[in-house]
Amino acid sequence: MSEKPSNPFRAEEAVPCLRPDLDVIPVTYQGRRALVIKDPLGLMKDPLLLAGDGLLTLGLIDGRRSALDIQSELVRLRGGRPISLESITGLVAEFRSAFVLDSELFREEKDRMMSAYAALKVRPACLAGKSYPADAQELGRVLDEILDLAGNEASGLPAEEITGLAAPHIDLDVGRRVYAKTYAPVRGLRPKAVILLGTGHSLTDAPLGLTAKDFETPLGLVKTDKALMKELRELGGAAVEPFDFSHKQEHSLEFELLFLQRMFGSEFRLVPVLCGSLSRELHRVRRAGELPGVGRVLEALAAWRTRLGSDVLVVAGVDLSHVGPKFGHDLQASDLLPEAERHDRALLDALGRMDAVAFWEEAARVDDRFNVCGFSSMAFLLEILPRGRGWLLDYDIWREEPTRSAVSFAGLAFTKT
């Protein structure tokens, strides 16, 4: 944002509102209140830090106020200290060029990026060289170090009895111990196919995000089951997003795929499914299988898994509660964690009993107050797996002190009996 962008807005026109899909994180910068803005779509190459007048201006952009309105309100907020209209229009132009606003420029660039991504046959790794090494040998060493943390400690679960896992999708270094304990029980398996359920963090238009693209990581290429993905898309209808753009930047599948490739190689067939937020449905139905379109997809996945039997492993990449200012709460994480942990434990208990209705009721009880971002993936997992039992392998909480926020996460294995 160093170059001064052109300003296409007239001072008396309403400034376009902010994009609803941005991640807006409250932080403290040089002793002052600030915001870090991240773009899940990747149009913003780097996070944007806002403080001072930039922060105040952003807070006044609501899709109704003009630059003149914002100037007037800023003068009031600054105790009568003047601020030039040129400063306001300059900031608005910077926000526009940084794709912060839901402007025509943003929509054009998003359409261009979506078209380019749709033309790809392979989904390239988006986090290689950022969240983990891009070099295959170095990545293998990192993954082995994590997996070896489980040591020789046995989970007591026969590998051949395991039908599915719920694994964290938090940063690999943060979740090392839980990743290790989650994947340890299946290291002896050799599945021919994996149904991979992930949290669709940027999935906003539908509860399901499907793609027929093959997935590439530094460890190799994993092919999707294209015939099954086509069938699922047709069954899901309006419950499936029209495009597969939500997969482009999504880490909740990519992190799990790394461990699966390291343990099983890259020859298994992949069924990648992103699961969107279900918070608006919590009081409308009693379980995920009752959702129109979604239920048909889950039934088809369950039937496909039954036909292939032990050759299929179902893996959900999930985290649990997200609490604190970073996630929209007025209170800091330390004030919310006791209740959030009780909520986590109730969800984990329902998962252990594989009780889809009780799992759903617990989320409805708190109106998803604690932002369990893996809720939909776990709800779908319960519909796909055969009835058996879930086993909690580990549970942990990551505390992010600069934002006074926290994320809880766990690992579970599910068995037939």
Whose CA is closest to 414, among 356, 351, 362? 351
Who has greater pLDDT, 380 or 30?
A: 380
pLDDT at 3 over 60: no
Q: How far is CA 402 from the centre of its chain?
A: 21
Distance CA(132)–CA(172), nearest Å, equals: 8
| The predicted structure's pLDDT at residue 205 | 83
Average pLDDT over residues 101-108: 95
Whose CA is closest to 399, among 338, 324, 339, 319? 324
pTM of the model: 0.90
| The predicted structure's pLDDT at residue 77 | 87
Output the DSSP codes for 177-221: HHHHHHHGGGTT---SEEEEEEE-TT--S-SEEE---EEEETTEE
Q: pLDDT tens digits, residue range 221-261?
A: 999 999 999 999 999 999 999 999 999 999 999 999 999 99
Give the pairing of strands 214-217 and 122-123.
parallel
Distance CA(121)–CA(310), nearest Å, equals: 29
What is the residue-averaged pLDDT of the chain? 94
Q: pLDDT tens digits, residue range 31-46?
A: 888 899 999 888 888 8
Measured CA to CA in angstroms, residue 258 lies from 23, 132, 382 at distances of 25, 10, 23
| The predicted structure's pLDDT at residue 1 | 46
3-class DSSP state of 35: strand
Query: Diameter of the chain by CA atoms?
Result: 72
Model confidence band, residue 2 (pLDDT cutoffs 50, 70, 90): very low
pLDDT at 143 over 50: yes
Distance CA(362)–CA(79), nearest Å, equals: 47
pLDDT at 137 over 60: yes
Which range (23-32, 209-218, 297-306) has the least confidence?
23-32
Measured CA to CA in angstroms, residue 45 lies from 98, 99, 286, 410 at distances of 9, 10, 41, 31
Q: pLDDT tens digits, residue range 48-60?
A: 999 988 888 999 9
Burial of 246 (0-12, 13-18, 19+ CB in 10 A): buried
Is the CB of residue 407 less than 8 Å from the CB of residue 170?
Answer: yes
- CA 90, 95, 97, 100: dihedral to nearest 10 degrees? -170
